Amino acid sequence: MANYSTNEFKPGLKVMLDGDPCAILENEFVKPGKGQAFNRVKVRNLKNGRVNERTFKSGESLEGADVMDREMEYLYSDGEFWHFMATDGSFEQVGADEKAVSDAKNWLKEQVIYQVTLYNGAPIIVTPPNFVELEVVETDPGVRGDTSGGGTKPAKLMTGAVVKVPLFINIGDVLKVDTRTSDYVGRA
């Protein structure tokens, strides 16, 4: 991979830092009137998602990271790996381990398209779409006629996720859920 100098640290650039692939979020030029210039950089570690602040002497460089985001369809899980297939017609498949799917695990549904971040060709993060539609498999019986809102109750979805839903929701209902907040949005 190419090397990138501090002045090329634009948001979105993927670089290697402490052996992990990281994405640049912000880059600020800091220079006292007298003295060394620095670049204060905010990065997200793509393996653990943590955001860190790092500072470099201006002009230092980092190796680029072989990181790629691909749209992939979820196929199935064999218990150890979660399998995805490319949607670009190549039918290429990858298996993501539990760590890579940890953020998406509650929202994995077959035939839905996910963003899979590949590092050196291997999946490191699976990001769900902002909204998914999932069926309710477990909840207290619905209160008929109560569509006005007010109270909520827990409902377990087909993926195992538990979300708060209005009282009128029944088993078998398909719900639209915001994956970023785990909020119920509405009936699909």
Partner 1 sequence: MHDWQPTASIESLRRRAGIINQIRHFFAERDVLEVETPALSAAAVSDPHLFPFTTDFIPEGGGASHPLYLHTSPEYPMKRLLAAGSGPIWQLCKVYRNGESGSRHNPEFTMLEWYRTGFDHHSLMEEVDQLVRSVLGCAPARRVTYADLFSDLLVTDIHSCDTPELARLGRERCGFVGELDRDGWLNLLFSHLIEPQLIEPTMVYAFPASQAALAKIVDSDDRLPSAARFELFINGMELANGYFELTDALEQARRFEADQKLRKALDRPVLPVDERLVQALQSGLPECAGVALGVDRLVMLAVGVNSIDEVIAFPASRA
Residue placing its CB nearer to partner 1 in the complex, 51 or 122? 51
Task: Give min distance, CB of 107 to partner 1, in A.
Answer: 33
**Shortest distance in whole angstroms from residue 11 CB to partner 1:** 14
Contact between 138 and partner 1 by CB under 8 A: the answer reads no
The secondary structure of the chain in percent helix, strand, coil, rounded to multiples of 5, reads 5, 55, 40
Asked if residue 164 binds partner 1 (CB under 8 A), the reply is no
Site for partner 1 in 91-130 (CB under 8 A): none
- Contact between 28 and partner 1 by CB under 8 A: the answer reads yes
Q: How far is the CB of 82 from partner 1 (least distance, A)?
A: 33
How far is 123 from 95, CA to CA, in rounded Å? 7
User: Interaction with partner 1 in 32-61: which residues (CB under 8 A)?
Assistant: 32-38, 40, 52-58, 60
Q: What Å distances lie between residue 61 and 1, 14, 38, 55, CA to CA?
A: 12, 12, 12, 12
**Site residue total, partner 1 (CB under 8 A):** 21
Yes or no: say if 37 and 57 are a contact pair by the CB < 8 Å rule: yes
Helix/strand/coil for 105: helix
Integer angstrom CA distances of residue 31 from 6, 36, 39, 40, 55? 13, 6, 8, 10, 12
Residue of the chain from 3, 5, 11, 31 that contacts partner 1 (CB under 8 A):
31
Q: Quick one: 38 or 131, whose CB is closer to partner 1?
A: 38
Furthest C-alpha separation in the chain: 73
Residues that bind partner 1 (CB under 8 A): 17, 28-38, 40, 52-58, 60
